[in-house]
Amino acid sequence: MTTDRTATGRLNKVIGALDAGEHVFATFSAADPTAATELTTTHYDTVVFEMEHKPWDINALRDSFQYLLSRRQVFGADSLAPAVTPMVRIPANGAEKAQWHAKQALDLGAFGIIWPHISTVEEARNAVAACRYPRLPDAPLYEPAGLRGDGPHAATRYWGIPNTEYYAKADVWPLAPDGEILVGLMIEDQLGIENLPDILDRVPGIGLILIGEGDMSQELGIPRQYEHPRLLECKRRILDICTERGVAVGHPHVTADNVKQVLDDGYRFLMSAPVRTYPGLDRARELTGRDLRSKA
């Protein structure tokens, strides 16, 4: 039975689904208002605005957040939760510790940060800490000690709640059970796999592990051979480690052909790319003898 997550009071649909043991349907998108507008009509739970390999354009990200909202959806809903939850993959690798990228994205209203290339416990701790506000060492849930600066004015407007309520909700889940910020770490190399048990055991507040198939395949010398036995073995190790600890794992390349296997393997965060088709153009080319596919 599908849970009505908007009725739970959750603003972050991704956390609502993961907390309920459900699957999450996600996609990557450039920070672009046109793309964001198109995504409002889809049934994705979340969009991860891709700013690792795309430009860090903070103004485009701000506008994309706004265009992702549908006034009709907000008017008709019984919750302030956006229909499609915005998250951001920042450009900094784990070792670079660029906390300001996370701070700026969160200050605009992001509900989650995806951190690329996390390979060590220290990098994982920095990722979680960068998404939390500081508190005194004797306060509950102190560790990892927060590092985020205070400036959430755009975020409170986007979330639709006052500052005091934002501060209560803007902590990382599942460390803070009522937190609305999701910290996702990308494991993309052998060092990250070796350290993953320690990362998950020693750093509370990690809500998602996303497998970086592309970079991992490069390291293995089998670029983008996603079905290669060596890469499949690495992915299996990550799944086993995370499943043992109850942490959801994301698959970044879900297609109609592999989705059943992805589900059978145990992935819970499924990223698929939207496909734009041109049936009128394709049919016209076919009828006029200019069908490019037949000449490929």
Segment 247-295, tens digit of pLDDT? 999 999 999 999 999 999 999 999 999 888 899 999 999 999 888 765 5
| Class of residue 140 by CB neighbours under 10 A (exposed 0-12, middle 13-18, buried 19+) | exposed
pLDDT one-digit tens code per residue, 45-54: 999 999 999 9
Where are the chain's structural domains? Answer: 5-295
- Which of the four pLDDT bands, split at 50, 70 and 90, describes residue 236? very high
Name the DSSP class of 42: S
Give the predicted TM-score (pTM) of the model: 0.92
Phi/psi-derived region of residue 109, left when phi > 0, alpha when psi is between -120 and 50, beta in every other case: left
For the segment(s) 5-295, the CATH number from 3.20.20.60, 3.40.50.2000, 2.60.40.10, 3.30.70.2860 is 3.20.20.60
Output the average pLDDT for the chain.
94
User: Binning pLDDT at 50, 70 and 90, where does residue 7 land?
Assistant: very low
pLDDT surpassing 90 at residue 241: yes
Residue 248 has phi, psi (to 5 degrees) of -70, 145
